[in-house]
Structure 1
Amino acid sequence: MYHAQRPVHTPVLLDEVVAWLQLRQDGLYVDGTIGLGGHAEAILDGSGPNGHLIGFEWDRNAAALAIDRLSRFGDRVQVVQTSYVNLVSELARLGVQGIDGLVVDLGVSSLQLDSPERGFSFQLDGALDMRMDQRNPQTAAALVARLSEGQLADVFYHFGEERQARRIARFLVQARQKEPITTTARLAAIVAEAIPKRYHPLKVHVATKVFQALRIAVNTELVNLADLLAGAPEVLRKGARICVITFHSLEDRMVKRAFADNPAYRVLTRHPVEVSRAEVERNPRSRSAKLRVAARV
């Protein structure tokens, strides 16, 4: 069991998610990314006294903290330690016939960002890991060591929308020939060296897109999201709502397209719901979050 002190956790777009779900006091809800339990707690409070929630979380440390946070709800909550990509099959295994709402928050949690050993952030030096599920044998360091220059460039371009992808890949291959790239600080330094100063962004770290791309590749995030969006209508009851919070344009476009193209969905948000200025001031990490909502036809 994970016994570390619970990190400060501020769920993104919390009031908006609760409002769009239209909670019922006897409803059954699923949090596909329970994280540290912020959205789940609000859903359980709002659907009390008889509402139930099933949470999915593939990070075992986060799952343990969520279980502790939600213990006051007793048997109204159940946490399944697996990725939301297995949501349909796991609900079938649990005998669930249909659910009244689904929320998925695709952001990286504070627990992950603030733990250097997890390797998600260039702000803290640590092992170049980036695995959401530490049972996954493939780390970011292993990808950087194994992929060819062309493959690395493709990862950075397609998963990070990084315009300097080929130049960065070339610098990484040259650097790893001298010494393996195994830490977040070294990766960030190589990226900063590869990109000419005139192309350094003003408001975000120069390595942001590279870190995003590697994280997506390590955790097959876009494949998982596509599978979830295709499979969710199988478990949503008629009229049930699906709320998806994204943090970058790749995810947002996928959600927008899936909701529009799948006849099982009725789009409820023509434009994504964005965080308010007040929320950004309280929680700067929320600034790029967008919420899209659809209902099961």
Structure 2
Amino acid sequence: DIPDLGRFDNVRFPLPPNFYDDYRGREAAKVQDMSIEKTMLMDYDLKMFDSTIREFSILRMDSAQRATNDAYYAKVHADLKKRNLSGRALTEWKYQRYMRDYLSTAASMDRNIERTLDYLDRKGLTENTMVIYMSDQGFYMGEHGWFDKRFMYEESFRTPMVMRFPGKIQPGSVNNDMVMNLDIGPTILQAAGVKAPNDMQGKSFLGRVAKKGAVTGGTATPQPWRNAIYYHYYENGEHAVSPHFGIKTKQYKLIRFYTRVNTWELFDLESDPREMTNLFGKPGYEKITATLKKQLLALIEQYDDKDARQLMNL
């Protein structure tokens, strides 16, 4: 929103420790085209220069908003031109600009969520409404030198989610179970007292986040629950991210890349949370690799992923 332009302009954000990742041992990461250094566009991504793409992105503004927006970015552009940056200095400038715009957008989103919650209060709907706020995925904030998403690495794989359900969910409580986006539907249905159809692949986690005895058909910790989750990225286009599928457990992640590159990656998330060291094929990891492949194949069968099933046999 216009009121949030420049909100973080006086903040300098620290570079992530792996901002200058060399992608050693990770072939799919080497061939991607989503780096802040080489890929991030001044107009589309940083909203500074006049272009057809930029014009389209701000058509919803009225004349006053447009004037404020253009005046703000004109100053940013003039400052950049004056600096005459290149190399790493320019890359790090782009990162700071990206972070400031991104978090200004987050501040705008936060304020508008407040408006929505205030509406529920005014209409007397709060006590009978379950609110779920989540993204469709995570996002890279400079980790691995990237922006955007797509990869199964933690920063884009993990998805933020916050819930509010007065009388059912304890405010401030945290749940670390492995939840997937396909669990959202069954969870909403349980909250509404409706049985989920048998062909829905997810399962309700309402009983796992609610206070004991607060919801029908569940307790605070119903059993069993999954100990691994499955992911498949099918696209072979934007940002040159190689299609891949994989499995994540509490400690390990195994990924199978195909099409652009044909390779496996294995990470120990406890010792290497930033996923910098590919352990696949390294001595000493044969047993865990075999176990993860077996679990991965079971999930492929569970979700009837025919493409992945065929690739597992190659």
TM-score (structure 2 length as normaliser): 0.26
* Greater C-alpha radius of gyration: 2
**Relative contact order, higher structure (CA 8 A, sep 6+):** 1
Q: Which has the higher strand share?
A: 1
For normalisation by structure 1, the TM-score amounts to 0.27
Larger helix proportion of the pair = 1
